[in-house]
A and B are shown apart, each in its own frame.
Chain A
């Protein structure tokens, strides 16, 4: 008769799993992974836009978590701690790829002013209402600077509150709200460009394929 092992990982509570994982229990590691892998993977996928990189990033996030789990003392929620690790892993990756990065302290992108409503990017005749489909929105999100993207994904997609995002991103609540607004404003611009491009292609198609140089 084999020595009793923890065979049913589904019975472990998160707190028990953390305690046992700190002792090296393999079932506990797996239980923690089961509890959080979907949200971590989704976060990575939204941030980088492709599955291969998202897998690598999720893997790295969990490895960092498990290496450091012995230091977790419960001062913050475990999920918050994990998401902070995950966001840092993603931002490090994006930094290495030399994408333009906006720190959370940066007010605006270069040459961009956020003042009154953007009258020059289209007014009422280019309303997004009813035109924000999933594919276009995901593509637009991928074009956001990492700082904006992190806050948008955490708040609007994963449902974190601003106080939680502040802990994850090590910023103020006011900064989180400001970045969220800027992210949405930038997405508005990107989506309106997409709508204009699609409208142009439709006009060209209607003229019988005389597309080419305009």
Chain B
């Protein structure tokens, strides 16, 4: 009878405290004693099996790839230009900032309408038959040309700075060119347009810094 009670107790409370009556039974019943000892050995033996194991690195690599494929990971694509000094200068000159920003919006809008080519031949490719160019927009495009040309004036202030700015400007122009190509090829791709707009912003900030350091008073 006590053997059966021991079994019931273990089933209900596998690791529970042994009641006194059953503890006494174990002293006189070899089979029950062996059972209790074996179950305890199994419980203690499981301590040797680690609760944690390090999986190979490829497991995470595969998970990462799959998450990207399913679009669950949203990774930024572009690295934005520094905002600290250029951005501060940009906002210190609201009139100049407004001109540059307006120009950017115009250029972005032109891209949205026609998917035009490079910014350098914006004026040449503009077809009034499609959408007449507003006089102020013409003036703003001319302002950007002037801003770019104004970098030349930096030479009078700091030749070394001019070299750096020309290099950075070339990088940004290259990025704009690439983005404009993407927009041309995929005119309905909103992300491509967003990247192009970001690139224009980077150029505007770069020019703002150049203007601030150059001889031009900024417009």
Q: Are A159 and B49 in touch, CB under 8 angstroms? A: no
Give chain B residues whose Cβ lies under 8 Å from the Cβ of A187: 42
Query: Would A157 and B49 be within 8 Å (CB), given that A117-B35, A132-B42, A188-B42 are in contact?
Result: yes
Residues of B69-112 contacting chain A, CB below 8 A: 70, 72-76, 79-82, 84
Query: Would A138 and B49 be within 8 Å (CB), given that A66-B67, A118-B35 are in contact?
Result: yes
Chain B residue at smallest Cβ distance from A152: B46
How far does the alpha carbon of A152 sit from the alpha carbon of B38 in the complex, in Å? 15
- Residue A123 lies at the interface, judged by CB distance under 8 Å to chain B: yes
A26 touches which of B14, B53, B62, B73 (Cβ 8 Å): B73
Q: Which of A10-18, A39-47, A88-96, A97-105 contacts B (4 or more CB under 8 A)?
A: A39-47
- Interface on chain A toward B: helix, strand, loop, or mixed SS? helix
Chain A min CB distance to B168 (Å): 12
Binary flags per residue of A50-79, CB closer than 8 Å to B gives 1, else 0: 000011001100110011000000000000
Chain B residue at smallest Cβ distance from A36: B52
Give chain B residues whose Cβ lies under 8 Å from the Cβ of A39: 51-52
Chain B min CB distance to A191 (Å): 7
Q: Are B49 and A134 in touch, CB under 8 angstroms? A: yes
Chain A min CB distance to B22 (Å): 12
Chain A min CB distance to B16 (Å): 9
Binary flags per residue of A185-209, CB closer than 8 Å to B gives 1, else 0: 1011001100000000000000000
Give chain B residues whose Cβ lies under 8 Å from the Cβ of A132: 41-42, 44-45
Q: Are B49 and A2 in touch, CB under 8 angstroms? A: no
Residues of A155-201 contacting chain B, CB below 8 A: 156-159, 174, 177-178, 180-182, 184-185, 187-188, 191-192
- Residue A30 lies at the interface, judged by CB distance under 8 Å to chain B: yes
Q: Count how many pairs of residues, one from A and one from B, have CB atoms less than 8 Å apart in the complex.
A: 159
- Count of chain A residues with a beta carbon within 8 Å of a chain B beta carbon: 63
B51 touches which of A3, A138, A158, A174 (Cβ 8 Å): A158
Q: Are A55 and B58 in touch, CB under 8 angstroms? A: yes
Q: Are A116 and B66 in touch, CB under 8 angstroms? A: no
Interface size class of B (residues with CB under 8 A): 35 or more
Give chain A residues whose Cβ lies under 8 Å from the Cβ of B37: 127-129
How far does the alpha carbon of A26 sit from the alpha carbon of B43 in the complex, in Å? 40
- Residue A110 lies at the interface, judged by CB distance under 8 Å to chain B: no
A interface residues, Cβ below 8 angstroms from B: 1-3, 5, 23-26, 29-30, 33, 37-39, 41-42, 45-46, 54-55, 58-59, 62-63, 66-67, 114-119, 123-124, 126-134, 137-138, 141, 152, 156-159, 174, 177-178, 180-182, 184-185, 187-188, 191-192
> Can you list 12 residue pairs at the A/B interface with Cβ under 8 Å?
A1-B81, A23-B74, A29-B73, A37-B54, A37-B60, A41-B53, A55-B59, A115-B7, A123-B34, A128-B38, A137-B48, A158-B51
Closest CB pairs A-B (n = 8): A132-B45, A38-B52, A24-B74, A156-B46, A2-B79, A41-B55, A42-B53, A1-B82
B interface residues, Cβ below 8 angstroms from A: 3-4, 6-7, 10-14, 30-35, 37-46, 48-56, 58-60, 62-64, 66-67, 70, 72-76, 79-82, 84
Beyond the given A30-B64, A134-B45, A134-B49, could you list 11 further A-B residue pairs with CB under 8 A, ordered by the A residue number? A24-B74, A42-B53, A67-B70, A115-B7, A116-B3, A117-B35, A127-B38, A128-B37, A137-B45, A157-B46, A184-B39
